[in-house]
Structure 1
Amino acid sequence: MMGYVTNHRWKRWKRNRIWGATATFLCCICFILFTPPIPRSLNHHRFADVRNLVGVPNTLNVMTNFPFLIVGVLGFVFALDGTFFNISSQGEVWGWVVFYSGMIGIAFGSAYYHLKPDNHRVIWDTLPMTVAFSSLMSCLVFERFDQKTGLCCLVALLVSAFLCVLHERIYNDIRFCMMFQLILPLAIPAVAFMYRSKYTHSGYWFVSTGIYLLAKIQGITDKKIFRVNNYFITGHSLEHLCLALIPISLSIMLIYRELKFQRLVDLKDRP
């Protein structure tokens, strides 16, 4: 009887998840169909800190992208090496390699954009960011489902990322990019919560989500933070530094995590 109740609850929970995903998809479709194009506002490029400190325009907004380069290069090398990170399939290797490549792309793309922020350069800031989101979501799918599903997710999301950015560039319409950058950061903790991982240390996914939310708050309060700290550093520069903590957090997860079934075997083998 107990097994029947548990099975019934599981089926109901699974059905609710399907309905939730379907409702989210329909909301996105309605958003695209029933809203006019949204051009990128020129206010998006007006940051509080425009100081030229060492001969570099918008110095701190440019220089605070450097941590992305360090962690991106190190993560890329460690993911390819295959001994430093605990990665159990070739598909996961591809996912994490693309993620750390996205970090390197953010370092260069965001620095290039902040040298002279405008609608022409912003694509180089947006594209690596959407690639990083896509690969990170795919890494989670590799971890929670299987390699085939993960590869399909990786290819589909990367193609979608390029199409979204291309659409913005051609039509000056940020709706697709906006959905992409809103849905994936919410979908990652949702999938991490609903589906069990084959690894330990899954809490780092939620830590990374918290860091992301904190970074977005810092970006929104760019000018206020600048005034509060007596015009030393802006919220946007702090947003860059905070976002760089995400790949650091996930790298720590990759170093220390273990396969759960392997951990159980090790515990049984102990005297």
Structure 2
Amino acid sequence: MGWVVKQQLMRGKRTRIWGGALLCWLCLMFATPKIPLSPKHHLYADMRNFLGVPNTLNVITNFPFLVVGVLGFVLCLQRNFFNIILRGELWGWALFYAGTAGVAFGSAYYHLKPDDNRVMWDTFPMMIAYSSLFSSFIVERMGEKIGLSSLFALLLFAFLSTAYGITYNDLRLCMAFQLIPSMAIPGMMYVFRSKYTHSRYWLFAAGIHVLAKFEGVADRKIYRVNRYIISGHSLEHLCLAIVPVLLSIMLMNRNMKFQRLGDHKERP
């Protein structure tokens, strides 16, 4: 009887989450103005060229994504270093690291010659990484079945958002998609308990992600403040690369919580 009640409560929480996500999407589409691509989107503060490489620092600061992404992907496949129990988690984390490595190529390609034709090569790998990361979080908190269904749904939504942005020249869905994890993960942490330890790293990663976005918005101001050494956008790249590093540390150090002590554990 208790198991049935628990399952009903879980379904109710899931319904409220997806209902809230749908409501947020409707508010976004009907209450916010269209955000079209414009030449201003491609004018970054630091456009210096070194050794013949256009926009050098904005290009080379993508290299950490490649290092962390490849290492994380290899460690996922070896399954000796990361504490990943479920197959659904393995798929999600492996795709997250693959997407992170893809960001290095897509973003570098875009920053070599920033324009409307290349911008989605920068955006789409990032959206794949976010989709996979969020689905891994859902597997950890809500179960493998709903996590895998979320993975496919989010990947589809990432593709449709990219197609919508290209077709209708509107970046709202792509921009909102990049903010979903940092907004949803902290709130969901206090609704759904984790079966692992070291869950605080999710909060650290969400905080670093928000900080990186602020650095990107303050691109020119940061560039002026540090006397034109490095721009806010380049710092955004470096800051975002810290996110998979933090999550890798979490995966290496976390352990399953004992079921019999689960009710006495504090929420992360």
Query: Quick check: TM above 0.5?
Result: yes
Displacement of 1:35 after TM fit? 5.0
Asked whether the 8 Å contact 1:198–1:260 carries over to 2, the reply is yes
Which is further off, 89-98 or 35-44?
Answer: 35-44
Q: Aligned to 2:110, which of 113, 123, 138?
A: 113
Query: Is it true that 1:171 corresponds to 2:165 in the alignment?
Result: no
Letter in 2 for 1:86: N
Aligned length in residues: 255
Name the CA distance, whole Å, in 2 between partners of 1:114 and 1:32. Answer: 29
Displacement of 1:42 after TM fit? 2.1
Name the CA distance, whole Å, in 2 between partners of 1:92 and 1:263. Answer: 23
Q: Aligned to 1:200, which of 197, 200, 219?
A: 197
Runs of at least 5 residues in structure 1 that lack an aligned partner in the other structure:
1-6, 265-271
2:57 corresponds to = 60
| Residues 198-251 of structure 1 deviation map (CA, whole Å, 9 limit, x = unaligned) | 000000000001101111111111111111111111011011000000000000
CA spacing shift, 1:19–1:116, aligned 2, 3 Å: same
Displacement of 1:75 after TM fit? 0.1
CA spacing shift, 1:15–1:186, aligned 2, 3 Å: same
Name the CA distance, whole Å, in 2 between partners of 1:219 and 1:83. Answer: 36
CA spacing shift, 1:220–1:37, aligned 2, 3 Å: closer
1:4 corresponds to = none
Query: Is it true that 1:160 corresponds to 2:157 in the alignment?
Result: yes
1:217 corresponds to = 214
Displacement of 1:16 after TM fit? 8.3
Name the CA distance, whole Å, in 2 between partners of 1:185 and 1:40. Answer: 24
1:247 corresponds to = 244
Query: Is it true that 1:261 corresponds to 2:262 in the alignment?
Result: no
Displacement of 1:28 after TM fit? 1.9
Give RMSD over aligned pairs.
2.3
Which is further off, 110-119 or 186-195?
Answer: 186-195
Name the CA distance, whole Å, in 2 between partners of 1:259 and 1:232. Answer: 45
Query: Is it true that 1:140 corresponds to 2:137 in the alignment?
Result: yes
Asked whether the 8 Å contact 1:218–1:239 carries over to 2, the reply is yes
Name the CA distance, whole Å, in 1 between partners of 2:153 and 2:64. Answer: 29
Name the CA distance, whole Å, in 2 between partners of 1:259 and 1:55. Answer: 51
Runs of at least 5 residues in structure 2 that lack an aligned partner in the other structure:
262-268
Letter in 2 for 1:157: L
Name the CA distance, whole Å, in 2 between partners of 1:183 and 1:253. Answer: 21
| Residues 137-181 of structure 1 deviation map (CA, whole Å, 9 limit, x = unaligned) | 000011112111111010110011011101111221112212212
Q: Aligned to 2:146, which of 146, 149, 157?
A: 149
Displacement of 1:15 after TM fit? 6.7
2:75 corresponds to = 78
State percent identity of aligned pairs. Answer: 57
Larger Rg: 1
Name the CA distance, whole Å, in 2 between partners of 1:24 and 1:91. Answer: 22
1:129 corresponds to = 126
Name the CA distance, whole Å, in 1 between partners of 2:14 and 2:91. Answer: 28
Name the CA distance, whole Å, in 2 between partners of 1:257 and 1:263. Answer: 18
| Residues 33-53 of structure 1 deviation map (CA, whole Å, 9 limit, x = unaligned) | 455543123211110111111
TM-score by length of 2: 0.88
Displacement of 1:20 after TM fit? 6.7
